[in-house]
Amino acid sequence: MLSRIRIFLVKFAISVALKRKAPKQIPLSGIERLRERNYYSVVLREERTQARFRVESVKKQGLEGYWFEFGSHGQEASLPNQNIKRLHLEIKHYAYELEITHRTGIDFLMACLTFKPQREVLWYRFKVWVFSKKKLPREDRMEVLAWAYEWTLHSEDRKPAFTPQSFLIHKHGDLIMRHPEKDRLMKYYRILFESLVASGDFEDIKSLWSFALLPNALATLDKYEEDDRRHADNLRQQKILGWLTFALVLIGVGQILASFFGSE
């Protein structure tokens, strides 16, 4: 009984989503094109093999669509009702600038009833508006180099690579792509990254349009930290000398006052 109810809810949610079915070509960039999106794609996934069934229509006896195995281009297929329960539902809502994924029929239906996508889009646009008013500071060479070192250290790739865009996203979050200064900052960091290539700290991987850290960067960071420590030590010494000078002045003033009043 519970199985039948679950299948009914899944099929009902799918039928609602397919009333606004996503086109074959979905825009993924360009703010004007993104804001024209408001449709759904429906997929059922097999957890063990990651094979997926893309739903095209709902029938009384089951679902019609395309079955995708690993590396395949998709075979036209039918999915009987009794096989629906062993697959995992994924309804993706291309809600204007956002992509919202629902993993159960109940979740999708409740989102529709409570206008959750519309609320999320309005909140996202408000955050973009607030962020676009912020003045973003520019980082210097050493700050970028330190970031690249940490990025490389924590990456699981055999040869980690990064770009000015990945730096900006890590620094400011995804909203940087909506900031009015984005293009100017991208140009600035592109020049900065190329200067680190010229100094032997970065490698320009032209085939991937990205950069990688070189061993020389460690020596550069070590020298910078040593210079920074030396500068801090100098400041401490100057501060100590300043206090000693002040103390000597006070002692001198005290001696002058003592001799003046003593002479009377």
145-174 pLDDT per residue, tens: 999 999 998 888 888 899 999 999 999 999
Give the whole-angstrom CA distance, residue 17 versus residue 32. 23
Neighbouring-strand partners of residue 202: 213
Q: Tell how strand 210-213 and strand 88-95 pair up.
A: unpaired
Give the whole-angstrom CA distance, residue 77 versus residue 37. 28
Quick: pLDDT tens for 216-261.
988 888 887 765 666 555 667 667 666 767 666 666 666 665 665 5
Give the whole-angstrom CA distance, residue 192 versus residue 194. 5
Range 183-187, long-range pairs (CB < 8 A, 24+ positions): 185/136, 185/138
Quick: pLDDT tens for 110-135.
999 999 999 999 999 999 999 999 99
Q: Tell how strand 88-95 and strand 75-80 pair up.
A: unpaired
Give the whole-angstrom CA distance, residue 198 versus residue 38. 47
Per-residue b or e along 160-170, where b marks 16 or more CB atoms closer than 10 Å to that residue's CB? bbbbbbebbee
Contacts of 202 (CB under 8 A, 6+ apart): 148, 193, 196, 211, 212, 213, 214, 217
Q: Is residue 17 pLDDT above 70, yes or no?
A: yes
